[in-house]
Chain A
Amino acid sequence: MIVARLRVWSYYVLLWVVSIVFVSPVLWIALSAFKTRNDILAMPPKFIFRPTLENFAHLFARDELWRQVANSVVLSLTAVIIAIVVSFLAAFCFSRFKPKGTDFLMFLLLSIRMLPGPAVILPVYLMYAGFGWKDNHFWLIMFYAMFSIPFSVWILKGFIDGVSVRFDETGLVNGGSWLHVIFKVVLPQVKPGLIAAFIFNLIFVWNEFLFNFIIGGVSTQNIPYALAVGTYADGGVAWPFIACLTTIYIIPPVVFIYAFQKYLLVGMTFGTVRGEV
């Protein structure tokens, strides 16, 4: 009996060790956020040190920080919400009405994700430059939305496929319109898919640097841009700044992953099953 329990507990310990090993570099970064610069650079590395909050104080004293944070939040949320709405409608259509060319279009949508960043952004930059859409929140959001659509369509279509057609029929027979069917009947049933798509795309746009750097500008700076630009400070590499900002920036996505973990695990099944994970 005891052996069995010991086995179970050593199994749990193993799992915890694995998790901690994976997260340890992140913890090292977070730890550095509380160290002075000399402590960060100290060799041998300091695990015991006097923690300080001055890095955070410096960080929040920066003028541009609030604008960058606001931009990060606004750009991510808006773009992803738009993408999800558009994708949901399209996925519904692909699933239920199967118009000609569905497979081709789905494949083409995926093709956008295939290209490396510079390849995608090059013609878009020329286009934006030509029309004067550079450094413009609206057009940047539109572009981010476009980038989030393929993944969302694929997930949502999978889930909607899994919702039995009989639900639709029942809804329509009972006198509801298609809008009613779409939003009141099918939507609630694909929640895991919606949430998974939302979180994944959010994380992508949240961490996105290249597009913001090239087609964004002074007013649309976001935090990854701030990280890239602020790497070198007046006195060498700005380790305290990077550690601090990274630590703060990672909190919202981690919170999301913790809170919606169950949905994430179901959502990534792409709708092939709607059971427990």
Chain B
Amino acid sequence: MSSMHAGSIGRKPGIAGMFDYRTRLTISLLAPVLLFFIVFNTIPTLWLLGLSFYNYSLTSGMPPEFIGFRNFVQIFNNRNGIWFDLSRTFLFVGLGVTIQTSLGLLLGFLFWGSKAMPGRRVALTMLFTPMVLTPVATGTFFRFIYDPDFGILNWILHGVFGLQPIAFLTNPATAYWSVLAVDCWMWTPFMTLMTLAALGSVPKAELEAIEVDRIPWHKRLTLVVWHHGKFILMLGVLLRTIDSFKTLDLIIPMTKGGPGQATRLVAMELNKQAFESFNIGWSSAYSVLLLLVSIAMTSVFIYILNLRRRRA
């Protein structure tokens, strides 16, 4: 690229002439993205940061009142049980992503060898359908499926195992796991997709080589498949972790955070504070905290990703 003589071509007079063609091109290519970014991300984030130092409730009719770090102090003091929400959410994310990845890997491997299967495309499409449902609809309908009076799941359990109807979503012991189960149902196909993509990234030559050399299964996995596909898999895990942290649309129709606080995740509490109680200042502080948590999580991931990439 440096051999290109772009520097001497296209020098325009005036300010534009200060930048050479290549720089101008760079700027014009980046300009739209930067514009979007600044308007919709930077400015709102700064606004958020600013608001977090105020006591501002939209419905009180009073103007915002500067209170310094009081919002943050309250958060630190576990007002409203924030730390419980966070630990619940981390558990949800951790368990969910683990289950989805393991199951996804399993299914991915299972489907990998089925190129010749009739109707493979249809089967795979069916497999991917859960990801595509509107979460609002999924939540509402699973509420129906789990319902002890009218739901089909209890009917199956009763017929097969003779169990009494279980109120999955209102029993504190089962509510959390029931919601987690739906989340796994929705997103395991995503990890399957990533697994298939990762497996596909193994060069054909190597695949044939390991067949020919009759290398044992576990060595195949670690030496060949993992070596090539780990970037994609890790990326999938990263994306899933990020998205799982944000789960909201699914929970609201199913349990609305109940029973009690059993399924109250971070996004739900934030939604309630920001848009039902309209405590703008406090919600902003909470959002800032979440932003820091997210940045920390993603930095860790990207670091691991780059590490592996560099080593590879």
Direct A–B contact in complex, judged by CB atoms less than 8 Å apart: yes
Taking chain B's interface residues, is the majority helix, strand, or loop, or is none over half, making it mixed?
A: helix
Q: Is A107 an interface residue (CB 8 A)?
A: yes
Instruction: Say if the beta carbon of A228 comes within 8 Å of chain B.
Output: yes
Say yes or no: is A59 at the interface (Cβ < 8 Å to chain B): no
Known contacts A253-B132, A269-B197, A277-B197: A18-B302 contact under CB 8 Å: no
Among the stretches A25-33, A48-56, A63-71, the one at the interface with B is: A25-33
A251 vs chain B, min Cβ distance (A): 10
A188: Cβ under 8 A from any B Cβ = no
Q: With A265-B196, A273-B200 as given contacts, are A224 and B134 in contact (CB-CB < 8 Å)?
A: yes
CB-CB nearest in chain A for B141: A29
Q: Is A242 located at the chain interface by the 8 A CB criterion?
A: yes
Instruction: Please determine whether A118 and B201 come into contact, CB atoms closer than 8 angstroms.
Output: no
Inter-chain contact B270/A119, CB cutoff 8 Å: yes
Most B CB atoms within 10 A — which of A29, A41, A118? A118
Known contacts A19-B126, A246-B137; is A266 also within 8 Å of B189 by CB?
A: no
Min CB distance, A144 to chain B, in Å?
10
Q: Tell me if A235 counts as interface (CB < 8 A to partner B).
A: no
Contact A12 B114 (CB under 8 A): yes
A146 interface residue (CB < 8 Å to B): yes
A223 at the interface (CB under 8 A from B): yes
Q: Contact between A119 and B155 (Cβ–Cβ < 8 Å)? A: no
Judge if A115 is at the interface, Cβ distance under 8 Å: yes
Cβ B137 vs Cβ A227 within 8 A: yes
Residues of A within 8 A of B47 (CB): 123, 126-127
- B contact residues around A105 at 8 Å (CB): 37
Distance of A126 Cα from B237 Cα, bound (Å): 33
B232 neighbours in A (Cβ, 8 Å):
268-270, 272
Are B110 and A18 in contact (CB-based, < 8 A)? yes
Closest B residue to A123 using CB positions: B44
Residues on B with C-beta less than 8 A from A265 are 193, 196-197, 200
Q: Which residues of B contact A99 (CB under 8 A)?
A: 26, 30
Query: B262 near A: Cβ within 8 Å?
Result: no
Contact residue range for chain A?
Answer: 35 or more
Q: Which of B41, B199, B246, B294 has the most CB of A within 10 A?
A: B41
Chain B: how many interface residues by the 8 Å CB criterion?
99
Q: Are B201 and A272 in contact (CB under 8 A)?
A: yes
Partner of B294 from A14, A111, A250, A268 at Cβ < 8 Å? A111
Contact yes or no, B33 A268, CB < 8 A: no
- Are A90 and B130 in contact (CB-based, < 8 A)? no
B123 touches A19 (CB 8 A): yes
Min C-beta distance of A149 to chain B, whole Å: 6
Q: Is B22 an interface residue (CB 8 A)?
A: yes
- By a CB distance below 8 angstroms, the chain A residues around B200 are 265-266, 269, 273, 275-277
Q: Can you name 21 A-B pairs with beta carbons within 8 Å?
A: A22-B185, A29-B141, A43-B149, A45-B155, A93-B25, A118-B271, A119-B48, A127-B47, A142-B39, A207-B133, A246-B133, A250-B133, A250-B134, A258-B121, A261-B121, A268-B236, A269-B197, A270-B232, A273-B202, A276-B200, A277-B196
Residues of B whose CB lies within 8 Å of any CB of A are 1, 4, 22, 25-26, 29-30, 32-33, 36-37, 39-41, 43-45, 47-48, 51, 107, 110-111, 113-114, 117-119, 121-137, 140-142, 144-145, 149-150, 152, 155, 185, 188-189, 193-194, 196-204, 228, 231-232, 235-236, 242-243, 245-246, 248-249, 253, 266-267, 270-271, 274-275, 280, 283-284, 286-287, 290-291, 294-295, 297-299, 302
Tell me the A residues contacting B by CB distance below 8 Å: 11-12, 14-16, 18-20, 22-23, 25-26, 28-29, 41, 43-45, 85-87, 89-90, 92-93, 96-97, 99, 105, 107-120, 122-124, 126-127, 142-143, 145-146, 149, 153, 165, 168-169, 172, 178, 203, 206-207, 209-210, 214, 223-224, 227-228, 231, 237, 239, 242-243, 245-246, 249-250, 253-254, 257-258, 261, 264-270, 272-273, 275-277
